[in-house]
């Protein structure tokens, strides 16, 4: 007998050889019908894998991320089989599950496939799925695996196998199809009820531009047709909320080929929006004891060699700037932190002076590949709401918690209420990716976990996601469409203080190294505005809107009264405009609605006579008639309710 421990802590005993599906059936037949994947002792296995020893078993359904991963990975196999049947002689490479769906990279040789062909491939996939073919994993020797693909002439699979150790190679079979695979599949193809192939793109083999370009086909699948219908409706909503579309409509930003790819140009309305966001954070930072600094856009190459950023970004970033002086090289700065270290180094410090909190809205530059650029979310020049805290080890815990409070204040003020946190730690299997001693890494990681627990944060640990110089706490926000975005980040760093030889004199009169905290609640202004646009659909919080009120005059006769209302609102620091165009009031209202202006004030003969305005609210309609002063007080109270003061 073996002991199987389930996630709730209960232990069940079975004969050796029992499968995860057998265990599921012992719980209930209804539950077993929904089980599509499993893991045993943290290793992904099949639902039919025999269990021969004691261990921890987790059973996954479609409602688990791991279940979806197995579902979409299995769907990639079905896609590959359909492509082989429709396009004989193609060469398959890899087909993983991704965050939403799956893809397969294929070398079509002299054959071609286009978007119009995808419906035929979908139909073939559903035909295969209806066969309810079981997925079966089998082991293979390295010699047999190489022989199989050499006979096919598939150099891609041969290359993959050559990098694998003998004894670790497995194939997955279903129906007449077989593929090199590590495992993690649903029980049979019949569970896949709905498929949509989303797009076709080019992809270099192994992501290397020197290799051949393959055809990548993206798809998504579901256990119910209803799920696919809802997903496609969500995608349509996402198109309407696309920040690139809204940014153009609201005249916030633009791009120019002459200026360069990935270098956004902020238009007046967008610049004013950014300024309000900056002032909002600066006000909170001032209360929290931060001091603003300003650093240049470039620095000597040696600065980034010292920090480690040159080794990390140098080869793949903007190339050095050469000056007339022989051997002198500068770089566009990829990060602000080396500059802040040198600000700290500009004078001696005592433990009585710490913590020092230096903040800057600093623009940095990284040469992202052109194919990876995407609106404001992936650019080559972006401004970080950066700050670096230099503190004693004894102050680290308290300072980290204070930064958490600031991030939560930012999220609350901007309507991001659905989020979780991720503790991003180093990959213990790849120490070469990181700088610094193991002792310092362990101290930094422990500090982050302790702070997250003390603040009661809902967090999960992800190994291998740390920055190269230190672990971090990342805030993962879900927007109005349920999509996850990484926003604020806080990092603990023992390494840069060592590299820059930062010091302070302690109470023992000896010199010590400070600990450094990196933090950016917005992350970058560009990406934050993009996410905020898509989250709100352009309906920003009232305090942030470029224009809060549009005064709509029924005709030019009421221009003087409209101006009087405008002056009153502007005196109360309410952002308003007057629409005196010779257009119908209906058209003016429609355009104000399209421009997401929160409030419209209609001014005509009766309003001028009574000294009132007729109020409409965006998306809601008429709110009735009131005096301009009463309306101003309404707006001011609404702004006050939205933008609470930051309490230290």
3-state secondary structure string across 165-191: CCCCCEEEEECCEEEECCCCCCCEHHH
d(CA 281, CA 520): 10
Residues 174 and 120 in one domain: yes
d(CA 24, CA 301): 60
Helix (H) or strand (E) holding 337: helix 337-344
pTM: 0.76
Confidence of residue 438 (pLDDT cuts 50, 70, 90): confident
Range of the domain at 258: 253-413+490-536
d(CA 602, CA 625): 9
C-alpha dist (Å) from residue 557 to 562, 619, 639: 10, 28, 32
- Say what the pLDDT of residue 314 is: 77
Residues 229 and 95 in one domain: yes
Residues 530 and 562 in one domain: no
Residue 479 belongs to a domain? no
Domain termination site, one of 204, 233, 262: 233
Whether 315 shows a pLDDT value over 80: the answer reads no
77 marked as binding residue: no
Whether 593 shows a pLDDT value over 80: the answer reads yes
C-alpha dist (Å) from residue 154 to 89, 201, 217, 529: 10, 21, 19, 46
73 marked as binding residue: no
Instruction: Find the CATH number of the domain harbouring 592.
Output: 3.40.50.800
> Mapping DSSP to helix (H, G, I), strand (E, B) and coil, where does residue 491 land?
strand
Strand partners, 460: 422
- Say what the pLDDT of residue 208 is: 84
The answer for 150, left when phi > 0, alpha when psi is -120 to 50, beta otherwise, is alpha
| Parallel, antiparallel or unpaired: strands 55-60 and 136-139 | unpaired
Whether 117 shows a pLDDT value over 80: the answer reads yes
Structure confidence by residue, pLDDT tens digits, 265-305? 999 999 999 999 999 999 999 999 999 999 999 999 999 99
Residues 126 and 187 in one domain: yes
- Say what the pLDDT of residue 88 is: 94
Residues 71 and 50 in one domain: no
Whether 167 shows a pLDDT value over 90: the answer reads no
What one-character DSSP code corresponds to residue 440?
A: H
Whether 6 shows a pLDDT value over 80: the answer reads yes
Whether 601 shows a pLDDT value over 90: the answer reads yes
Residue 430 belongs to a domain? no
- Say what the pLDDT of residue 469 is: 80
Residues 101 and 210 in one domain: yes
309 marked as binding residue: no
Residue 421 belongs to a domain? no
Residue 461 belongs to a domain? no
Domain termination site, one of 172, 204, 233: 233
Residues 261 and 408 in one domain: yes
Domain termination site, one of 61, 78, 112: 61
Instruction: Find the CATH number of the domain harbouring 327.
Output: 3.30.930.10
Instruction: Find the CATH number of the domain harbouring 159.
Output: 3.30.980.10
Residue 345 belongs to a domain? yes
Confidence of residue 318 (pLDDT cuts 50, 70, 90): confident
Domains identified in the chain, total number: 4
| Parallel, antiparallel or unpaired: strands 43-45 and 37-40 | antiparallel
Tell me what the mean pLDDT of segment 436-447 comes to: 86
> Mapping DSSP to helix (H, G, I), strand (E, B) and coil, where does residue 71 land?
helix
User: Are the C-beta atoms of 92 and 104 separated by less than 8 Å?
Assistant: yes
Whether 643 shows a pLDDT value over 80: the answer reads no
- Say what the pLDDT of residue 230 is: 92
Contacts of 212 (CB under 8 A, 6+ apart): 107, 204, 205
Residue 596 belongs to a domain? yes
d(CA 498, CA 396): 16
Residues 339 and 402 in one domain: yes
Residues 39 and 78 in one domain: no
Residues 93 and 217 in one domain: yes
Residue 426 belongs to a domain? no
d(CA 632, CA 551): 13
Residues 270 and 366 in one domain: yes
Residues 384 and 291 in one domain: yes
Instruction: Find the CATH number of the domain harbouring 47.
Output: 3.10.20.30
Structure confidence by residue, pLDDT tens digits, 517-542? 999 999 999 999 999 999 999 999 99
Contacts of 163 (CB under 8 A, 6+ apart): none
pLDDT above 70 coverage of the chain, percent: 100
- Say what the pLDDT of residue 506 is: 96
Spatial CA neighbour of 625 closest among 609, 612, 641? 612
d(CA 247, CA 531): 11
- Say what the pLDDT of residue 479 is: 83
d(CA 91, CA 105): 9
Instruction: Name the residues annotated as catalytic.
Output: 337, 366, 384, 386, 388, 472, 518
Residue 463 belongs to a domain? no
């Amino acid at each position: 007998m073996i002991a199987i421990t389930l996630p709730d802590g209960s232990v069940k005993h079975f004969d050796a050889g029992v499968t995860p599906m057998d265990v599921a059936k012992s719980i209930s037949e209804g539950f077993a019908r929904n089980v599509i994947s499993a893991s045993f002792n943290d290793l992904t296995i099949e639902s039919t894998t025999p269990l021969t020893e004691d261990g921890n078993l987790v059973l996954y359904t479609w409602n688990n991320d791991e279940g979806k991963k197995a579902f979409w990975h299995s769907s990639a196999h079905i896609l590959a089989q359909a492509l082989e049947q429709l396009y004989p002689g193609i060469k398959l490479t890899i087909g993983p599950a991704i965050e939403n769906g799956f893809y397969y990279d294929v070398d079509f040789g002299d054959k071609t496939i286009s978007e119009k062909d995808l419906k035929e491939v979908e139909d073939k996939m559903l035909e295969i799925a209806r066969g309810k073919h079981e997925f079966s994993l089998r082991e293979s020797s390295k010699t047999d695996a190489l022989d199989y693909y050499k006979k096919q002439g598939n150099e891609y699979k041969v290359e993959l196998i050559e990098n694998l150790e003998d004894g670790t190679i497995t194939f997955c079979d279903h129906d007449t199809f077989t593929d090199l695979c590590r495992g993690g599949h649903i029980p049979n193809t019949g569970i896949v009820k709905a498929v949509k192939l989303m797009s076709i793109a080019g992809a270099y083999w192994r992501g290397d531009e020197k290799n051949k370009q393959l055809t990548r086909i993206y798809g998504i699948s579901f256990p119910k047709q209803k799920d696919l219908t809802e997903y496609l409706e969500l995608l349509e909503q996402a198109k309407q909320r696309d920040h690139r579309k809204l940014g153009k409509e609201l005249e916030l930003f633009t791009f120019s080929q002459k200026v360069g790819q990935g270098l956004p140009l902020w238009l007046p309305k967008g610049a004013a929006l950014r300024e309000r966001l900056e002032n909002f954070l600066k006000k909170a930072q001032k209360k929290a004891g931060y001091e603003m600094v300003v650093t240049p856009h470039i620095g000597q190459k040696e600065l980034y060699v010292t920090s480690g950023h040159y080794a990390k970004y140098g080869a793949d970033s903007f190339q050095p700037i050469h000056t007339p002086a022989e051997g002198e090289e500068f770089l566009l700065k990829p990060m602000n932190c080396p500059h802040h270290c040198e600000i700290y180094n500009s004078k001696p410090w005592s433990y009585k002076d710490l913590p020092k909190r230096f903040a800057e809205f600093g623009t940095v530059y990284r040469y992202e590949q052109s194919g990876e650029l995407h609106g404001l979310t992936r650019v080559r020049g972006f401004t970080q709401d950066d700050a670096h805290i230099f503190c004693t080890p004894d102050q680290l815990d308290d300072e980290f918690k204070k930064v958490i409070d600031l991030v939560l204040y930012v999220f609350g003020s901007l309507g991001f209420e659905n989020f979780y946190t991720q503790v991003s730690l180093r990959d213990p299997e790849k120490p070469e990716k990181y700088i610094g001693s193991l002792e310092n890494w362990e101290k930094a990681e422990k500090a982050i976990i302790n702070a997250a627990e003390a603040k009661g944060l809902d967090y999960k640990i992800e190994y291998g996601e740390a920055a190269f110089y230190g672990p971090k706490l990342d805030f993962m926000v879900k927007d109005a469409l349920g999509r996850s975005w990484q926003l604020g980040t806080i990092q603990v760093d023992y390494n840069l203080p060592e590299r820059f030889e930062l010091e302070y004199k302690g109470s023992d009169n000896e010199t010590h190294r400070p600990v450094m905290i990196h933090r950016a609640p917005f992350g970058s202004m560009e990406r934050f505005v993009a996410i905020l646009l898509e989250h709100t659909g352009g309906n920003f919080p009232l305090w942030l809107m470029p224009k809060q009120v549009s005064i709509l005059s029924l005709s030019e006769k009421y221009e003087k009264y409209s101006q009087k209302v405008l002056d009153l609102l502007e005196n109360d620091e309410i952002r308003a405009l007057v629409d005196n165009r010779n257009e119908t009031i209906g058209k003016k209202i429609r355009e104000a609605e399209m421009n997401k202006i929160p409030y419209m004030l209609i001014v005509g003969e009766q309003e001028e006579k009574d000294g009132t305005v007729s109020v409409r609210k965006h998306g809601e309609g008429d709110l009735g008639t009131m005096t301009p002063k009463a309306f101003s007080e309404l707006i001011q109270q609404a702004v006050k309710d939205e933008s609470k003061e930051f309490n230290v």
